[in-house]
Structure 1
């Protein structure tokens, strides 16, 4: 039933990566909302029912890690899965300490992302 599908937001500035993740999520029964920047995610419709966030670390403006910080400061418990092409152990430690569900380096196996999203959904109730 469509109403039971979980909504996942993808914040990724690379159009081809964003489309790939969108197709993957749709194939696994998730609804997906696409955003090209952290700023566009923050400006989304207040009625949006996003239950998990797949977030690129290195975005054109505000970074993914800064977006996660702002969400936490605003009281959001939205689970975050970081994806990145950056080979930076310091960023990974920073993201992990900030409480992300997973930190995946591109290219990553599709199953790792789906497993992380399922884990995020379990933390919010049954998927």
Structure 2
């Protein structure tokens, strides 16, 4: 038996970007689970334990930063990597204050995302 695949959740309302991140993660040996919104992530069925969260900041409904704050309030230690297409230095500061492992601006290199996930998981 091979080693267990680590599960990474991708929350992004852009379906094509979500799929491409999922494919990238699968190519690097991670199990990707995809969600179109913060609410969908919060209401997910308990399945494989998510070990890292790749989270878009600018979501319809609850924002990525609001989701990160809610998870922290609930005592979650889930490492978060924020991704965004927005060029706003204040968002980066807010994301870092919310406690993210990395903050990547779209378009970012796939290798940068994989490096951030490896760091988050202590690999």
Correspondence list, 1:92-111, <5 A: 92-111=92-111
Inter-partner Cα distance in structure 1 for 2:11 and 2:81: 10
1:87 equivalenced with 2:82 (yes/no)? no
The CA deviation at 1:3 is 5.6
Tell me how far apart the structure 2 counterparts of residues 100 and 49 of structure 1 sit (CA, whole Å): 19
Show the counterpart of 1:28.
28
Partner SS state of residue 67, structure 2: helix
Deviations 1:82-107 (A, max 9, x none): 00000010010010111100000000
User: Which TM-score applies when normalising by structure 2?
Assistant: 0.96
Q: How many residues align?
A: 123
**Would you say 1:45 and 2:81 are equivalent positions?**
no
How far did residue 10 of structure 1 move?
0.2
The two structures have a TM-score, normalised by structure 1, of 0.93
Per-residue deviation, 1:48: 3.4
**Per-residue Cα deviation, 1:25-51 (whole angstroms, up to 9, x for no partner):** 000000000000000000011233100
Matching residue of 1:67: 67
SS at match of 2:70: helix
State the secondary structure of the residue aligned to 1:96.
helix
CA distance in 2, matches of 1:5, 1:47: 14
Partner of residue 54, structure 2: 54
User: Runs of at least 4 residues of structure 1 off by over 4 A?
Assistant: none
